[in-house]
Structure 1
Amino acid sequence: MLHHADLGDNEVRSKIKSGEIQFGGNRKLKIYGILKCKSGKRMKRGNRIFFNSENEAIVMGYRPCGHCMQGLYKKWKDGFVQQ
């Protein structure tokens, strides 16, 4: 898990290109989603964190975004626990 506030813009871009960053999340709300999510793009830089895999986000206790990951969000909401 990487905190956006600790990274420079060029560093974030290079990590996305290299595949080191694949998902973003809101550390206060404990939500993760894809990097192109409109909701994720609106969050404050200080609240944004990055994950290199979906499994990493799940292990850290984050839930799927209801906007960009609707299928997984519905499963989570219905009580399906991913591991």
Structure 2
Amino acid sequence: MIRHTDFADNNLGKARLRGLIKAGAIAFGGNWPLKIYGTLHCQSGRRMLRKNRVFFQSEQDAILSGFRPCGHCMRMEYRRWKIGRATGSVHHAPNEQPL
């Protein structure tokens, strides 16, 4: 997991971030306080505060960090997650307790 605040808020920091996205080192974005991850093109994700934004290389990285899918840009994954919670079969991060 990479925090957006790890990058300088200038042209150099933005270029570095774009380079990591192009290289495939960043594929998903997330909201740290809400523990939600989604695509980099999600409108909900674009509106979040910089200090709350984190990045992941893969969906698996986000899940292992205790994040859930975004209901806006990842509807199918969100539905599977929600059904899994209701049936108790959802995967939890090692340090996360089921609800």
Q: Which residue, out of 19, 27, 36, partners 1:31?
A: 36
Deviation at 1:82, TM superposition (A): 4.5
Matched residue, 1:6 = 6
* Aligned residue identity for 1:81: V
C-alpha distance in 2, partners of 1:82/1:33? 17
Query: Using the alignment, how far apart are the partners of 1:27 and 1:81 within structure 2?
Result: 20
**In structure 2, the residue corresponding to 1:81 is in which secondary structure?**
coil
Aligned length: 83
Residue by residue, what CA displacement relative to the aligned partner does 1:31-80 show, whole Å, maximum 9, x if unpaired?
00000000000000000000000000000000000000000101111125
| Whole-Å separation in 1 of the counterparts to 2:49 and 2:18 | 17
Name which structure has the greater RCO, CA cutoff 8 Å, separation 6+.
1
> What pairs with 1:40-79 in structure 2 (closer than 5 Å)?
40-79=45-84
TM-score (norm 2): 0.80
C-alpha separation in 1, matches of 2:4 and 2:19: 13
Q: TM-score, normalised by structure 1?
A: 0.95
SS in structure 2 at match of 1:32? strand
Structure of higher CA gyration radius: 2
> What's the RMSD between the two structures over aligned residues?
1.2
Separation in 2 of the partners of 1:20 and 1:48?
16
